[in-house]
């Protein structure tokens, strides 16, 4: 698709929080928060000619590698939030994208994401084949207080559960969607901690894709703050989540 006439290097987009996106307490689910952030990134990429359809001309797609989210407070049902996003860096096969969520002038969420270009045929990373010079980069503008990091998974953990990857877990790239990993893990966190908004920040590392019918196992750290959960297949860690509590 051509670059949209209304494309700008910094995008601001409004979203209304619906009841389908909320916990029983009326506040936005952490999974749906991530969905909104990624959908906003997708809108910006599409306006700038870097959408999934554009990149599929070269059998490429963006895949999420790391993500850090810092939370001042969660929005609730019927609130209108504005998500602001920009590219911090984009070189070869990697890009850092920043996102912030506001209610009015109040910043309530900061997020930093790390993306890789992925060949959907070879299933390997490679340099971006689509032009991107029209995107201004903002290397000095950050959305979080702390940058995303490599989560330490060499810690004592206990087995939690095992499950099979189903069709409902997959996305258009034909692997488990990035938010599904978060959903799988949060289902085994004490509900009260989530419903009382005790999450101060969380980080996610995506290490290996998982596909339809694969069996995954979830493990949880013996430490509670931070709490680390991992998703593995064949004894290889595919995903790590670190939850930092208030």
Q: Decide if pLDDT at 228 tops 80.
A: yes
Q: Decide if pLDDT at 38 tops 90.
A: yes
pLDDT, tens digit, for every residue of 90-139? 998 999 999 999 999 999 999 999 999 989 999 998 999 988 999 999 99
Query: Are both 144 and 168 inside the same structural domain?
Result: no
Number of domains in the chain: 2
Query: Are both 222 and 208 inside the same structural domain?
Result: yes
Boundary of a domain, candidates 148, 178, 203: 148
Q: Which pair of tokens denotes residue 39?
A: 């959908």
pLDDT at 162: 98
pLDDT, tens digit, for every residue of 144-194? 999 999 999 999 999 999 999 999 999 999 999 999 999 999 999 999 999
Residues contacting residue 61 through CB under 8 Å, at least 6 positions apart: 52, 55, 117, 118, 120, 172, 173
Average pLDDT (35-43) is 97
Query: Are both 49 and 109 inside the same structural domain?
Result: yes
Cβ(4)–Cβ(58) below 8 Å: no
- The 10 Å Cβ neighbour count of residue 186 is 19
Q: Which residue has better confidence, 2 or 212?
A: 212
Q: What is the CATH number of the domain that holds 33?
A: 3.10.129.10
Question: Mean pLDDT of all residues in the chain?
Answer: 96
Query: Are both 221 and 246 inside the same structural domain?
Result: yes
Query: Are both 37 and 130 inside the same structural domain?
Result: yes
- Domain holding 87, by residue range, is 1-148
pLDDT band for position 13 (cuts 50, 70, 90): very high
Q: Decide if pLDDT at 14 tops 70.
A: yes
Query: Are both 140 and 215 inside the same structural domain?
Result: no
pLDDT at 51: 86
Boundary of a domain, candidates 148, 175, 206: 148
Query: Are both 122 and 37 inside the same structural domain?
Result: yes
Q: What are phi and psi of 175, to 5 degrees?
A: -145, 170
pLDDT at 131: 86
Query: Are both 122 and 6 inside the same structural domain?
Result: yes
Query: Are both 139 and 167 inside the same structural domain?
Result: no
Query: Are both 211 and 243 inside the same structural domain?
Result: yes
Instruction: Please give the Cα distance from 67 to 70 (Å, whole number).
Output: 10
Q: Decide if pLDDT at 1 tops 80.
A: no
Q: Tokens 């996106």 sit at which residue?
A: 21
Query: Are both 80 and 93 inside the same structural domain?
Result: yes
Query: Are both 26 and 134 inside the same structural domain?
Result: yes
Q: What is the pTM of this model?
A: 0.95
The percent of residues in the chain predicted with pLDDT above 70, rounded, is 100
Boundary of a domain, candidates 133, 148, 163: 148
pLDDT at 2: 82
């Amino acid at each position: 698709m051509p670059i949209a006439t209304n494309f700008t290097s910094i995008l601001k987009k409004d979203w209304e929080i619906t009841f389908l996106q909320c916990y029983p307490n009326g506040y936005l689910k952490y999974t749906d928060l991530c969905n909104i952030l990624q959908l906003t990134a997708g809108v910006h990429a599409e306006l700038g000619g870097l959408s999934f359809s554009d990149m599929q001309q070269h059998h490429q797609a963006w895949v999420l590698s790391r993500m850090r989210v810092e939370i001042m407070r969660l929005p609730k049902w019927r609130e209108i939030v504005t998500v602001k996003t920009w590219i911090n860096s984009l070189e070869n096969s990697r890009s850092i994208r920043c996102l912030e969520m506001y209610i009015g002038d109040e910043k309530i969420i900061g997020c930093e994401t790390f993306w890789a270009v992925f060949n959907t045929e070879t299933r390997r990373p490679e340099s971006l084949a689509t032009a991107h010079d029209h995107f201004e980069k903002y290397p000095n503008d950050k959305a979080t207080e702390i940058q995303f990091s490599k989560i330490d998974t060499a810690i004592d953990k206990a087995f939690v559960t095992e499950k099979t990857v189903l069709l409902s877990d997959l996305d258009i790239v034909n692997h488990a969607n990035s938010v599904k990993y978060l959903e799988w893990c949060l289902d085994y966190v004490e509900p009260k901690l989530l419903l009382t908004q005790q999450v101060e920040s969380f980080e996610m590392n995506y290490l290996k894709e998982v596909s339809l019918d694969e069996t995954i196992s979830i493990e949880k750290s013996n430490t509670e703050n931070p709490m680390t959960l991992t998703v593995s297949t064949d004894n290889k860690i595919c995903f790590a989540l670190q939850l930092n509590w208030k």
